[in-house]
Amino acid sequence: MRKERWQQIQQELAQEYEYVKDIQMVLNGFRSDSHLERIPTSRISYEDDASLDPEAWFTPRDPEVWPAPNPVEHKPGPSIRQVNRSRRTETSRTTTNRSSSSGKGSGGNSTLKRGADTKSSRKEDNKPRNKDAKKEEPTSKEKQEPEEKKFDSTGYDHDLVDMLERDILQKNPNVRWDDIADLQEAKKLLEEAVVLPMWMPDFFKGIRRPWKGVLMVGPPGTGKTMLAKAVATECSTTFFNISSSTLTSKYRGESEKLVRLLFEMARFHAPSTIFIDEIDSLCSRRGSDSEHEASRRVKSELLIQMDGITNNEDPAKVVMVLAATNFPWDIDEALRRRLEKRIYIPLPNSSGREALLKINLKDVEVCPELDVNDIAERLDGYSGADITNVCRDASMMAMRRRIHGLTPEEIRNLTKEELELPVSREDFEEAIRKINKSVSREDLEKYEKWMSEFGST
């Protein structure tokens, strides 16, 4: 039994070897130019003569699956001129045959037909050229369209320029005054300090020059960042959103380069607005024992650049610096002097809280019996961010009650109508019990004391 199986395996190996030899001969024929003359005479058999015995350990190679061919070095084909000449000779032969056949029947009219043929051929040759010319016209118009201004980074590190354009530059903040509830006094002061000089550049000259910078002071969550974006939107200016992490680097001297590059880009994209959030972390009071030399150099460069932003007399090239802080008492005195307008952004009053509730609930279905005025009175002492959190939590109460005790499969099968239930008074009461105010009375007294001493409204 073993001897017969061994003989059978030897036969299969010999047959497979013949297959491989035939395939190699065909591949060798493909590599040569005259492969048609070298087709192997032996016929390749694709019939599978392998044993069907399941105990046979050898599995024959699939003849229908060929291995990948070796890369072939293609020779250069005939030149284009030779092909064109051959085509011309063929077309000339066909035209002469047609003319001779037509000349036998029509005589002297053959010359007229030849002329007509040549004219028609010329017209046909001109048609695609005209189409190509028409197609090229919109491309030339597209080239004439004004391209977006690109900052020239010669003399600066390209990586720093790309980082500022990617992480800081915002050209469309898209925040309007109506998106901010209350804060009418702050809006009026910001409009006079920032927006009006852009609208009336001829008036704000000499002693009426625009302010160098504006500092917004107030507890967290009162809308200082939203106000800065609204100022940039109303002025249609380029918006630079700065934080302390974007202007600090581990390499010596690179932070000062970033500050200088920032103001150069702001002048290039002018009119522009530079908003520095949490400026107390970037420009804290100098002279302390914990101050590092690198941070002092960054502060000095920032102060120098802020002094230089008003050197340009062109009213269209205005660069406004807006800053926001929660700790105004930690800001350096020189920076405080350069931020000439210092505005207090307080907590929202009763009308502001009511307006903020309506803004947050405009996309949510509310029960008709819900009294927004009563909810606004209960949110006394809450900041704008706290009120937004209360509205978000209250709008999710109905969903939490609906999915309570359900399996994941049952939750997936719920319809949109079953989840989007109206927000009720009980939802707001539960949300208010869970979310407390984030600003204490002692903090408000510190802000009011600082504004009474250093405020400039």
155 is in an annotated binding site: no
223 is in an annotated binding site: yes
End-to-end CA distance of the chain: 108
Own/partner contacts of 351-354, CB < 8 Å, gap of 24 or more, are: 351/182, 352/181, 352/182, 352/183, 353/181, 353/182, 353/379, 353/380, 353/382, 353/387
Own/partner contacts of 2-9, CB < 8 Å, gap of 24 or more, are: 5/53, 5/55, 5/56, 8/51, 8/56, 9/56, 9/57, 9/58
Structural contact between residues 335 and 442, judged by C-beta atoms closer than 8 angstroms = no
Element (H, E) at 344: strand 341-344
Structural contact between residues 344 and 224, judged by C-beta atoms closer than 8 angstroms = no
Q: Can you state the angle between helices 254-268 and 293-308, rounded to 10 degrees?
A: 20
219 is in an annotated binding site: yes
220 is in an annotated binding site: yes
Q: What's the Cα-to-Cα distance from 212 to each of 182, 194, 203, 308, 321, rounded to whole Å?
A: 26, 10, 16, 10, 7
224 is in an annotated binding site: yes
221 is in an annotated binding site: yes
Q: What angle do CA 340, 345, 347 make, to 5 degrees?
A: 165
Q: What angle do CA 291, 297, 300 make, to 5 degrees?
A: 105
Quote the tokens at residue 393: 């939590």
Return the bridge partners of 284, or none. Answer: 331
40 is in an annotated binding site: no
Structural contact between residues 313 and 349, judged by C-beta atoms closer than 8 angstroms = no
The alpha-helical segments, DSSP class H, found in 291-383 are 293-308, 333-338, 350-360, 372-378
206 is in an annotated binding site: no
Residues comprising the binding site? 218-225
Residues comprising the binding site for ATP? 218-225
